[in-house]
Amino acid sequence: MMKCHVILIALLATGCATSPGPTTGDRGNEQIGRYSVIHRGPELEVSVGFSQGGRSIGEEWLIIAVEFMTPPRSDLTTVNRSDITAITPDGRRLALVSQNEYRGSFNTFRIRLERAMEILPIFGRYETAVSPCNRWFLEGPFGGVAVDEITVNTFQVCSGPLVFKVSGGVQPGRWRLIIDLEESRVDIPFELYADE
């Protein structure tokens, strides 16, 4: 009996030692569902919903749903649209689409956009004492005014879609959302699978 316990412990230890740990880009990230990740950084907390991404394999638009807020008792943080990029599985860096391109192409991806946004709120499930803000980088044809930067605080959650035009189509694999801030970088990996 003792021999069985020793073998079991050895097998468990081997499994733990060989299981992949978080990579450098995974620091501060927590997968909270099959299609959502929360990043908790020193300047910004970000939730990313990517349920529509796997259904967009081969299409030219990657649409993810995103929320921003700051950590408790922290200063205001400004997020600039030009500091938001997505990195494809093959290492290409994609810029957020312009407001003009977003509005001009809105009807081609409107249904996918609505489906992508159904995953929100993510923070609202855990942070009940915050209210929504009314500012975002991309606004539809009948929406409000798009902004180039958003000042985020602890008491509000700013949310909306991030849309990237992908030359050659969305591919399955490990993607990353990057947001460069004044003193830190948000680096959120997420996996898209072709069989979704």
Q: Are strands 173-180 and 185-192 parallel, antiparallel or unpaired?
A: antiparallel
Residue 169 burial (CB count, 10 A): 12
pLDDT bucket at 17, cuts 50 / 70 / 90: very low
Q: What is the C-alpha separation between 116 and 64, in angstroms, rounded?
A: 6
Give pLDDT tens digits for 95-148: 999 999 999 999 999 999 999 999 998 886 666 668 888 899 999 988 789 999
| pLDDT computed for residue 70 by the predictor | 94
Question: One-letter amino acid identity for 103?
Answer: R
- Backbone torsion region of residue 109, taken as left when φ is above 0, otherwise alpha when ψ lies between -120 and 50, otherwise beta: alpha
Each domain of the chain, given as residue ranges in start order, spans 28-192
Q: What is the assigned CATH class of domain 28-192?
A: mainly beta
